[in-house]
A and B are shown apart, each in its own frame.
Chain A
C-alpha cells in the first residue's frame, strides 16, 4: 500500500484527536487570514485616500523641490517636457500643481496655510475636489434647530457628539449619526433644511478660492467672504492677493483640512510672480498597479534628466508609510505569537502520537517494515493535518473576505469619532485574496515539518526490542 494511503487511514484511527489538532490549525489560519486581510485592506484604503486627495502616484518636480519646498525651486511648464512625459505608454494625463505657503487672514484671524494652485478640470481626474464640497454642516445653530424638531433620542446624542462636523454627502452623515434606513425619509429633510451649505466650484482664471472645512471654521469663512493671502513669492517678491470664497471642501485628512486653500493654477502663479511655472506635475496613470507604477517611475527617470526629478507616492508619503509599517509589524507580531502557540499544540499532538504507537512501530519494524517508510508515513500524516487545517481555514475565511471586500465596515457614532480624531477615515476595508494567503499556508507547512522532526528521529533511532516491550 502507498505511504499516503496508510497515513490517511492512520489519521482516522483517532478521529477526535485529529479533528482537534486540525481545528487548532484552522483557528490560527482563519484568524491570521482575516486579520491580514483587514490590516492590508485598511492600509490600502488609507494610502489611496491620501494619494487620491493629495500626492497622486507619481510627480515630476524640480530636483531640489522635495528637500527644500520653496517657490524658488520651481520649473517651467514647457511643451517639450509635457510631450516627453506623455509619450510614455502608461501616462494618461498631466495634472499641473503650484504649491506654496502663505499667511491667510480674514478679519482679525490669521493662520499659516498651504496654497495649492490646481487646474480645476484636470484635477478632477485625481482628487475629486468637486465631490468634496461640503453639503451639510452641523453648526451649533443647525444642531439646535434639528433638536427642536421631533427626533429620536439616539440622534440627539449623536448630534452632540458630531456637532461641528461637515459632510460632503449623505452617506457619511448617516453613518456618523447612525441614522437608520427607516428614519431616513423623515430625518434627511431636516438636515437639508437646517444644515445645508451653499457651495460652488471654480474654473481657471476665477479670482476665487476653495478652503478646507476646518480652516474655514477657524477663519470664520463662508461662501462669498474674502480671504487675504500674504507670503513669499518667486525670487524674493512679496506675494499678496485677495480672493473670494467659492466653496468649502472637506478633506479626509484633518491636517490638510486645517491648512488647505485651493486656487486656480493660473491665479496662483500670478500671486507668486511665477507665470508658466509649476512646483510639480502629478502624472495620471492608466494602470495603478504597484508594478506598473514602479516601471513607469523607472522609465520616466531614464527620460528626464536634471533639473527634473521623478517621485513615487511612497517617497512622498514616507511618514504615513512608516506609521502603517509600524502598525503592520505589530500585527505580524500578534500573528506570530498565535502561530507559536499553535506550533506547540501541533508538537504536543505529534509527541502523543509517537508515544502511543511505540509498540505498534516496534511490531511493524520487527515484521520487516522499513524504518524510512514508517517515518515517511508519519510525515504524511502530519502534512495531512496541516493541509486540512489550511483548507478549512481558507474555505471559511474566503467567503468572509469576499463579503468584506464588497462591503467594507463603516464605523458609526462613537467609534467613528475616535478614528476621525486620529485623522483616519473610519472605514475598515478588506484586502482581496492575495500573496498573504500563500505566506500563511507556508507558515503552517513549516510548523508541521518542524514538529515532525522529533518522531522521525525517534523512529529512525528506535530499538525494536525496547519498542516491543513498551
Chain B
C-alpha cells in the first residue's frame, strides 16, 4: 500500500508539469464560445453594412478581407450560402484587369490584388484558377529585381511595394507572399529566394543583414533602413510580418532569423498597444498579423523573457472581446491611421484574427 502511495506520488510529480502545460495550451471553453459569438456578431455587422453590389467601403481590399472573414469563419460559409458571399466574389471579379491585377484604383494595387487572391482562393472554387494564376504573375511582376535594373546588392532587391511606385516595404511584401503561399505557388519559384533577400535586409540582425544600420534585437523594420517610428526601430506588426514572410518562403522554424524574430516577440509581448511604436496606431493590423504569425509558427504558448507564459489565443480573444462595440463592429478609437477608422476594415481584420483563435 505504501509502495503504491509513493508510486502514485512520484507519478503525480512527474506528470504535473505536463498537466499544467496542457492547461496553458487549452483555451477556456467559455472564452472560446464567447470568441465565436464575437466573430458571429462581427460578421452580422458586415452583412448589415454590405453595399448593394456586394462590396464593402467601395474597395477591393476591404471587400476581399471581409469576404475572407466569412469564408474562414467557424461557420464555414461558402458560395452556396447565398448572395452575401457570391456578390462580393462578383465584385472582386468585376475588377480583374488584363494585367492580372484586381483593383478598383491605381493606388494600393498590390494590397488589393493580394487580398483578393487570398479571398478567391478561400472559396475553393476551381473556376477562379485562371484569374488566380494571372494574379500570381502580376504579383511576381511587382517584385523588384534585375528586370527593373536592380542589382542584388541593392537594398530594394526582391522587395514588393504598393504597385503605384517602386519602393518596397515589409507590409506589402508579406501580403503578397501570403497570397502567393495561399494560392500554392511553386516553392521552387525564384520569387521566394529573391524575397528572402529583402526580408533579411529588413531585420535587425547583423549576422544575416548586410546593411550597415542593422541592429541585433531580431525585430523587423518597415523597410531596409527606415521605420516610421524613428530610425530603424523594430516594431510589432512588421516583426510578425517578417516572421510570416520567412515561414512562407520555406525557412525552417529553427533558422536563426526566425528564432531571433521570435525572441523579439517574446521580449515585447503585449496586446495592450502596438509594441515598438509607443502608440495604438495600427493596433488592429498588429492583432491580425500577430494571430496569423503565431498560428503559422505553431506555438500555443509564448513564454516572455521573464519566463511568464502567455496563451496567445486566450489573450487575443480577451482583448478583442473587450474592444468590440455594441453593434458588433470594431474600430480603432485612438487612431485613424492605416484606415483603422473604417469600421468595415477593422471589423474584418478582427474577425480574421478571431477565426484563427478558435481554429
Q: Do A and B bind each other?
A: no
Question: Which residues in B have some Cβ–Cβ distance to A below 8 Å?
Answer: none
Question: Which residues in A have some Cβ–Cβ distance to B below 8 Å?
Answer: none
